[in-house]
Amino acid sequence: MKRKTPVFVYILFLFALLGFGTLLMTNPGALVRYFVGTMIVIAILLLVFKFFSPSNIVRTEEDRAFAKAAKYSKKRLKKKLTSKKKGPRSKQALRKHPKHLTVIEGKKGKRKSRALH
């Protein structure tokens, strides 16, 4: 069952569109400044979050050892996968082998007796 979108969401969207259109008509330079400013703020927030993110901070000796082992394992797996490259197969190897079928001789000439209706 689909949920119906509330009316106030449509009204809010209409006001936003009206404000955007008015700003575009009256002062397009300000619109560009707002847009660029918003992008700069978002970029700064993303960089700060990425820099101070707890996933980059390894806290204990155990965690450091695990991270090192995982890195080594990943490197070893990558090396193992690249060494298994196979050369191109010949056309003869790609051909399918013929199936050896035999014909069973039967009563081909004899007709079945059918009941008359």
Decide if pLDDT at 113 tops 70.
Answer: no
Average pLDDT over all residues of the chain: 80
- State the chain's maximal CA–CA distance in angstroms: 97
State both tokens at 94.
Answer: 């790609």
What is the rounded CA–CA span in Å between residue 116 and residue 110?
18
> Taking 70 as the threshold, does the pLDDT of residue 32 lie above it?
yes
45-71 pLDDT, tens digit each: 999 988 887 665 556 777 788 888 888
On whether the CB atoms of residues 64 and 58 are closer than 8 A, the answer is yes
Sign of CA dihedral 18, 19, 22, 28: negative
Residue 33 main-chain phi, psi, to 5 deg:
-60, -45
63-102 per-position pLDDT tens digit: 788 888 888 888 887 776 665 556 666 666 666 666 777 7
Residue 39 has pLDDT above 90, yes or no: yes
All residues at 6 or more sequence positions from 34 whose CB lies less than 8 Å from its CB, including other chains: 23
Contact (Cβ atoms closer than 8 angstroms) between residue 31 and residue 24: yes
Whether this model's pTM surpasses 0.75:
no
